[in-house]
Structure 1
Amino acid sequence: MGETTVYIIRHGECDGNRDKRIRGCVDFPLNENGVKQARALAARLKGAGISAVVSSPLARALETARILGEAVGAEPVVKEGFRNICFGEWENRLQSDIMREFPEAWRTWTTRPEELRVAGAESLFDVRERSLRELENTVAEYEGRTIALVSHRALIKPMLAGALGVAPPFFWRLHLDNAAYGVLSHTPARGFTLRALNITEHLKNLKIADDFDSM
């Protein structure tokens, strides 16, 4: 069968990014800058041949997907497997508060995040497993087509590591800004190939939140 191309997209900015909160499954909508980012992304990808858009159910991703979908003529399809990591009792907390209250755990997050365990949270390995399963199912469903996948940094990075067979520690080896995109291809013979990551040329006139150490 033909090659499947997946545009891997991180959602536009939300207040959780701007305020340096640990977002997890808290349902932040896009903020004003995030809407502008999503529109710039849509303009960039309008001619990319995207025929389907799949998305996390969380508002910041789904709003980004809808703006893109309007540009390419595709209604977003929500897939639960692309929901952001559940981060338990840390969700919606300021990074600065977590650093102060849980210094050892925060050090683990910034150096060996695959080993981090937080009450009520998924591990990065949990996310890697469920997201890769959803990705494989999605590629099978849209085989031979060009699609867009809109999700979250803390899901996309472990998912890509799983797709590419990157061994731990994998999380900090990949980077993706808000409303940036990458290109992943798949063929039955070769599996997944990462062709590009963190493309941000369309965002050159917009602010990009510096939230590198947050979820």
Structure 2
Amino acid sequence: MTRIYLVRHGSTEWNQKEIFRGRVDIKLNETGRREAQALANYFQPISLQAIYSSPLARAWETAQVVAEGRKLEINLDPAFIDIDFGEWHGLPLPEVQEKFPALYRAWREQPHTVTFPKGESLEQVRQRAWAGFQALIQKSEDQTILIVSHRVITKVLICAALGLDNSHFWQIKQDTTAVNCFEYHRGHLVVSLINDTCHLKSIHAGN
């Protein structure tokens, strides 16, 4: 059986300030680094044969913390880079709501219909991410691997694996460093875990 762990990166300042990140290369903040260490502790008893990451710093920094102490390189894979928000990049949520009221309403109510100005749609993201995901399944037979990516990517991949279209995007929750797990055996893909954040309990208790 092939087991694929799909994880969202740790927190950044822009996450906490609700600024649209997308392709902007934001690093982890102190909370994100603590989350990444908690994630590494979660994976400590799990044998991983390979680690893949989005090329963006917030993802590969998270992956690097998990990789410490293991003789594994981080494989950067552009299939798992965050969505291109186009003209929304770097804008705080209130500014997006003011400048793009109709589009923002559509994003919240009918996300599958939205293509961001000078950016991507969820379907475009899903096609590239799903192709990359399937390629890793084929090259990782009977292995356990880790992919560190972004909320939009993890959501559309979970939708794809469950046979759901992108209209269900907002029905799937993905917290920072959330752990999801997929199991592939004899041609069948099963989602066995979604949005596991048990490793963050000590961090939240300390806040």
Q: Deviations over 1:141-192 (max 9, x none)?
A: 11110011100001111122122211241211211100111111112331x2
Q: Secondary structure in 2 aligned to 1:183?
A: strand
**Aligned residue runs from structure 1 range 16-31, under 5 A:** 16-31=14-29
**Aligned residue runs from structure 1 range 168-179, under 5 A:** 168-179=166-177
Q: Where do 4+ consecutive residues of structure 1 move more than 3 Å?
A: none
In structure 2, runs of 5+ residues without a counterpart are: none
Contact in 1 for aligned 2:26/2:57 (Cα 8 Å): yes
Matched, 1:199 2:205: no
Q: What residue number does 1:8 align with?
A: 6
Indicate the larger mover: 22-31 or 111-120.
Answer: 111-120
Q: Secondary structure in 1 aligned to 2:3?
A: strand
In 2, distance between residues paired with 1:188 and 1:173? 29
Q: Secondary structure in 1 aligned to 2:181?
A: strand
Alignment-mate amino acid for residue 34 of structure 1: G
In structure 1, runs of 5+ residues without a counterpart are: 209-215
Alignment-mate amino acid for residue 8 of structure 2: R
- Supply the RMSD in Å over aligned alpha carbons: 1.4
Contact in 2 for aligned 1:129/1:162 (Cα 8 Å): no
Q: Secondary structure in 1 aligned to 2:202?
A: coil
Cα distance change of structure 1 residues 71 and 12 upon mapping to structure 2, 3 Å threshold? farther
Cα distance change of structure 1 residues 90 and 143 upon mapping to structure 2, 3 Å threshold? same
What displacement does 1:24 show? 0.5
Q: Share of identical aligned residues, percent?
A: 33
Q: What residue number does 2:49 align with?
A: 51
**Aligned residue runs from structure 1 range 1-215, under 5 A:** 3-190=1-188, 192-207=189-204
Aligned residue pair count: 205
Indicate the larger mover: 34-43 or 181-190.
Answer: 181-190
Contact in 2 for aligned 1:46/1:71 (Cα 8 Å): no
Q: What residue number does 1:213 align with?
A: none
Contact in 1 for aligned 2:156/2:166 (Cα 8 Å): no
Alignment-mate amino acid for residue 97 of structure 2: M
Alignment-mate amino acid for residue 198 of structure 1: N
In 2, distance between residues paired with 1:51 and 1:162? 24
Q: Which protein has the bigger helix share?
A: 2
Q: Secondary structure in 2 aligned to 1:205?
A: helix
In 1, distance between residues paired with 2:122 and 2:155? 9
In 1, distance between residues paired with 2:163 and 2:157? 10
Q: Secondary structure in 1 aligned to 2:52?
A: strand
Q: Secondary structure in 2 aligned to 1:184?
A: strand
Contact in 2 for aligned 1:51/1:72 (Cα 8 Å): no
TM-score (norm 1): 0.91
Alignment-mate amino acid for residue 121 of structure 2: S
Contact in 2 for aligned 1:51/1:73 (Cα 8 Å): no
